[in-house]
Structure 1
Amino acid sequence: MFLKCRKVVWALLIGTVSAGTVTYSIPASVPTSATPLDVAPVGISFEFFTFPSYFLNVSATNQCLKNFETLTGVWPPIRIGGTTQDRATYDPSTSAYVVYSVAAPTDAPASLTFGQSFMSLASTYAGNVVLGLNRAHDNISNTIAAAKVATAKMSNLRAIELGNEPEYYLTDDQPIATESGTWTPAIDAASQDNWDILVGSALSKTNIIQAGNSNSAPPTWGAAELIATENDTVQSYVYDYAHHNYPGGTISSLMSHSDISSNLAIFNDDIAAAATTGKDYVLGETNSVSGGGASTVSPLFGAALWTLDYSVLASSLGIKRTYFHHGTIGACYYCFWGRYDMGAPYYGAYVATAFMAGAAAVVELDDGSTDYAAYVVFDGAGSPLRVLLVNSDYYSSGTRGSETFVLGGLGGAASVKSKRLTAASANSRVDQGGNPTFGGQTFANETCVIGGTETFESTAVSGGTGSFVVGASEALLVYLQ
């Protein structure tokens, strides 16, 4: 219903567009086409073999997650999985979290084992957890054994993934594909359907599988294609459908609002297909550039603006949760935090969380065709709560341009307050001294503790209308209540 009504909403909400100025009217109450929000739509994905180290050896992890919880009242959802989940074998006899050998600390293991303590550690997290297990090795008894431990130990278990990015199984010489000599979306779908039933029935649990988990752009390997193969029995075991996404590109193309809109539009049919089953659709693993990111893109402030705009637009399209992947510690350009330095993208995720926190629904005000994004969220009573404005014009040096967002429908207040997300340029990097700020505040390296004095800006409102200037490569969060 949302997708069918979206053009009507745009026609009602978009006003004049001219050089340097865009105009929108804030609805007085939530439109019927608004998209309901999850209580915590911004999540974190941890590469399987690195999960214990993130929680035991990286001091920033708990605080960075806690910062989100402070905003929303719930801990952000996490997913544990990735390429190494399909290299991992459950070993009930080991007391170690994970066992593997690598030539260098920044290498990912070609094979590994994990024990019950892995699930015990995951059980201590205060938020919901999606756990990825191995399907590629075609050892269903081993996977079921691990799943039984997970369901027994983890009261916070949201769902189990059965395999990661199966479209690569044949090229990766994974047994489940090589044993048959071929591997297609249809063969994979049959495998998934069978495993969903076998694992779900072994656990005596319905609504337990996060299905899909492919990376190739839909429709091939997508949820709609998978759902078409499922019967009612299979769907009874599915909790939600997931896809992966790494847009890539240059920093200017990555952060471009119109490019973000085009990228996310490829999921519309899958979102709609999931809705017909009554199940959620999520981005179970995503980030800027695949393979740990790119040094010229992923750690830059422009990637923070991408993270912000991408998270909110995904939510407005009906993607329930978005899990940003964190890979090998010490070799991860797109990571939000590490042992020593914060990553600029964390700021974008934090502002996205701040914008959607406590809100019941979200609407995109713009049509996705320009560099300028505008969103509004509504509270549970249906009143507008906050507005997010993003200027994704790429700024590197020289005179910084700006865009004026004229907002009507601001009510009878004499002024409204806002907080600005900014940095010296789109190319700023925290590890090179280029800290972003949100409302004048920063997150400390190593600890993720918020520092600095919180600073609000005030904008005059006359006749229910106010003008907000947002610089190139900046965003503004406007508080209406």
Structure 2
Amino acid sequence: MLKPSLLILSLASFAATWTHVLAVTVYGQEGVTAPSGVSSTAGASATANTDWVNNYAAYNNKILTAPNLPDPVPSNAFTIQLLNNAANVNALSVQQSGNFLGFSVEVSVVTQVIGKNASQIAVPFLNLLATVADRAGSVRIRVGGNTQETATLVDSLPNNEMIAKDKADATNPTDTPILDFTTEMLYLLSNVSALVNAKWYLGIPFNDTTNLRLQIAEAGDAILGDNILAYQLGNEPDLYVSHGHRPQGYDQQSYFNEFGTVINALNNDPKITKRGNLVAPSTQGTWTLQSVWDTGFLTSYQDAISVLAVEQYPDNNCAAAFPDAGFGPPVDPQSVFANYLTHASGRNIVSQYLDSLPLAQQYGKQFMMFETNTASCGGFPGVSDSFGAALWGVDYGLQMAYSNFTGALLHIGGQDVSYNPFTPPPTNLSNTKQWTVGPIMYSTLVLAEALGTSNTSRVLDTFANSASDYTPAYAIYEKDVLARMVLINFMTEQNGQGAYTATISIGGGQTGEGNGTPSSVKVKYLLAPSVSEKDNVTWAGQTYGARFQCDGRLTGTEVIQTINCDTTANTCQIPVPAPGVALVFISPDAQGATDPPTTQTYSTTAVTKVKNTVTIDPSVLATSNGDSAKDRAAGSTSQGSSDAPRTAGVAPGLTLLAMFVTGVWVVVAAMRR
């Protein structure tokens, strides 16, 4: 392990010797080039014409019109009567964790979003995770999706690549690529976990159960250890026939049989050290869950499964994304925008699973929405990247929590989707542009602070304001005491209408309750000028920034409102702008448990940038799980292809990463050439 003092080196003293690496780009997007006729040279001038980038859905300029106010407009003043003691409250959820909302990263975009290899992690990704993990205690991330089904772990790839994509399967309407990857990807994930408290779900390939490929579980157990949460077995099996992955006639019983085949193989593989941590059935709705349970799935495989999972989007944009695949005419985003600005959206999705949720509790399993977002096939430009999506994400997340889901993962694709919580810039703009954060990313912060780190939070849908779909409100009980409230306003102010004031009354003299209203409460607001806004979004006065302006850190001064209550009348009046979300902390302890005083951030600079940098505390490096350069064989990033194999569980790139985040990456790069 390198001593921290050895990392304090002068770049200037090496400049003359190592000038051949001064053009190294810290992070960037692989495989994305400008359209024909536009220069794609890395480090292009910031003044170069980049209008072409708007053609990518992730950076589109489409701004929709905020829907009209509902007719009639809901009451702008209403009271929510709550009890202070959870023992007196009916219909509370199971205990929930602050990491309820996590992320699902498609395998094919790992090198774009997470890092090029174990030594070059995308630092904005670390910063973004840190903003969630510091509020929630940890963050859950799935690396999977359609591409996990054909992904194959190989010993090595040309040019020491970590992931290689083959051409897309011509029979697949979503153009899913076929992938090879090396153990470097697993070391990359391990290094992320060494810096941020991130836990992972991975997928075991399920495309060919006669020639099983279990290597990802073998290597995952060895390299990631306790940072592995579970392995998904089968991704949307009810779509296998329509996607050309199984012959006609493949059904629930076929899936049941194949699932058993893989379980037997896993149990007989001595290299797989963990048992009982599979995720299934991960259907998306073509099969009902009951039809899967009718095969005896739960009773037969209960010992092998830890998470019962589904995958669901409220709509799809497949006709626009794949115009030649027979999906019909494309949908106008404006025509569906209002569908997301209502409490009914989340309730309608959740309602499909209410019969199966008690089964999860009966069998002692988690129940997760393993992949979701605003619309499949990339989302709707102007909807999926609007402030409306952030409001939808907060309400949908809390509705799942209230209904006894135990987690949900927001899916992240590449440059061609508009629903990403965050997206790196194209490679040819990475010297001059930063990341783009979608408004839905703010939903993860609100959920993290609303649910906290105690793992005891229970959620109640209050059906406020005569159960209006435009003004939903939730109460969160922590350690059996009312701790926080979340008030949502889906409306955009028009002609002075839309905002409302919720009067909260706690206890109210009911038996065993007394007057539980505090003298004051603290309130954080999630705000934007309109539901159609893309850039000007703030959480308690702080923002990730507009398009191409984010390094993963929140900027600005945090603003927390103090609202005085009337203890004589036993009321607190909470104003909620239109649109907006108010997170109300009933007590100082309820706020302190979720609001981190500081967040560890990481440098975004390695030679090409000299401003806006942050360094990591050397004491963190001193206790990190790294190794020294002298112990690392050169010439390969793959297990078994160097002079000495890696030790299982050691994250070999972490020392290089440590140098990277302290600004000496160029030296390391030169030494390894």
Same fold (TM over 0.5): yes
The match for 1:309 is 395
SS at match of 1:458: strand
Query: Is 1:453 the equivalent of 2:522?
Result: no
Equivalent residues in 2 for 1:38-57 (5 A)?
Answer: 38-56=97-115
Query: Equivalent of 2:498, from 375, 381, 401?
Result: 401
The match for 1:288 is 374
Query: Equivalent of 1:362, from 458, 471, 492?
Result: 458
AA paired with 1:28?
N
AA paired with 1:92?
D
The match for 2:38 is none
Compared CA separation, residues 379 and 198, structure 1 to 2 (3 A): same
TM-score, normalization: structure 1?
Answer: 0.87
AA paired with 2:305?
V
AA paired with 2:346?
I
How much does 1:369 deviate? Answer: 5.4
| Percent identity of equivalent pairs | 21
How much does 1:256 deviate? Answer: 0.7
AA paired with 2:438?
G
Q: Distance in 1 between matches of 2:268 and 2:522?
A: 53
AA paired with 1:100?
K
SS at match of 1:141: coil
- The one-character-per-residue Cα deviations of 1:286-305 (angstroms, maximum 9, x if unpaired) are 10110121103100000000
Compared CA separation, residues 446 and 454, structure 1 to 2 (3 A): closer
The match for 2:584 is 478
Greater displacement, 49-58 / 314-323: 49-58
How much does 1:88 deviate? Answer: 1.7
The match for 1:414 is 519
Gaps of 5+ in 1: 1-16
The match for 1:148 is 218
Query: Equivalent of 2:179, from 106, 109, 112?
Result: 112
The match for 2:242 is 171
Larger RCO (CA within 8 A; separation ≥ 6):
2
Query: Equivalent of 1:423, from 528, 533, 536?
Result: 528
Q: Distance in 2 between matches of 1:164 and 1:317?
A: 23
SS at match of 1:284: strand
How much does 1:39 deviate? Answer: 4.6
Higher strand share: 1
Aligned-residue CA RMSD (Å): 2.4
Q: Distance in 2 between matches of 1:123 and 1:139?
A: 31
Query: Is 1:138 the equivalent of 2:235?
Result: no
Q: Distance in 1 between matches of 2:199 and 2:188?
A: 13
Query: Equivalent of 1:29, from 85, 110, 122?
Result: 85
Greater displacement, 280-289 / 50-59: 50-59
Q: Distance in 1 between matches of 2:501 and 2:484?
A: 17
Query: Is 1:235 the equivalent of 2:308?
Result: no
How much does 1:25 deviate? Answer: 1.7
Compared CA separation, residues 443 and 231, structure 1 to 2 (3 A): closer
- The one-character-per-residue Cα deviations of 1:71-104 (angstroms, maximum 9, x if unpaired) are 1232x0111111111232222344532111469x
Q: Distance in 2 between matches of 1:39 and 1:454?
A: 20
Compared CA separation, residues 468 and 37, structure 1 to 2 (3 A): same
- The one-character-per-residue Cα deviations of 1:391-432 (angstroms, maximum 9, x if unpaired) are 123x276544122211101735322121111101000012xx
The match for 1:376 is 475
8 A Cα contact 2:314 2:345, kept in partner: no
How much does 1:117 deviate? Answer: 1.5
Runs of 4+ displaced beyond 6 Å: none
How much does 1:182 deviate? Answer: 1.7
SS at match of 1:363: strand
Equivalent residues in 2 for 1:48-447 (5 A)?
Answer: 48-56=107-115, 58-74=122-138, 76-94=139-157, 96-101=161-166, 110-126=177-193, 127-142=198-213, 144-155=214-225, 156-174=227-245, 177-178=246-247, 181-202=248-269, 203=272, 205-216=274-285, 220-222=287-289, 225-226=292-293, 229-230=296-297, 232=299, 234-248=301-315, 250-328=336-414, 330-339=415-424, 340-359=435-454, 360-367=456-463, 370-380=469-479, 382-393=480-491, 395=492, 398-409=495-506, 411-430=516-535, 435-444=536-545, 445-447=549-551
TM-score, normalization: structure 2?
Answer: 0.63
SS at match of 1:242: strand
Compared CA separation, residues 136 and 226, structure 1 to 2 (3 A): farther
SS at match of 2:161: coil
8 A Cα contact 2:517 2:572, kept in partner: no
Q: Distance in 2 between matches of 1:396 and 1:167?
A: 43
Gaps of 5+ in 2: 1-72, 117-121, 169-173, 317-335, 425-434, 508-515, 588-673
8 A Cα contact 1:397 1:425, kept in partner: no
- The one-character-per-residue Cα deviations of 1:228-263 (angstroms, maximum 9, x if unpaired) are 523655211111111111113822211311222122
The match for 2:572 is 466
- The one-character-per-residue Cα deviations of 1:32-64 (angstroms, maximum 9, x if unpaired) are 642211352111100011123211164421111
How much does 1:197 deviate? Answer: 3.6
Q: Distance in 1 between matches of 2:497 and 2:532?
A: 13
Q: Distance in 2 between matches of 1:200 and 1:373?
A: 47
AA paired with 2:124?
A
AA paired with 1:192?
F
How much does 1:475 deviate? Answer: 0.9
How much does 1:212 deviate? Answer: 0.9
Q: Distance in 2 between matches of 1:108 and 1:281?
A: 29
The match for 2:18 is none
8 A Cα contact 2:401 2:459, kept in partner: no
8 A Cα contact 1:355 1:477, kept in partner: yes
SS at match of 2:421: coil
The match for 2:511 is none
Q: Distance in 2 between matches of 1:269 and 1:452?
A: 45
8 A Cα contact 2:391 2:443, kept in partner: yes
Q: Distance in 2 between matches of 1:373 and 1:231?
A: 35
The match for 2:330 is none
Q: Distance in 2 between matches of 1:468 and 1:285?
A: 34
Compared CA separation, residues 22 and 320, structure 1 to 2 (3 A): same
Q: Distance in 2 between matches of 1:48 and 1:109?
A: 11
Q: Distance in 1 between matches of 2:395 and 2:457?
A: 16
How much does 1:440 deviate? Answer: 1.3
How much does 1:22 deviate? Answer: 2.9
Larger Rg: 2
8 A Cα contact 1:196 1:238, kept in partner: no
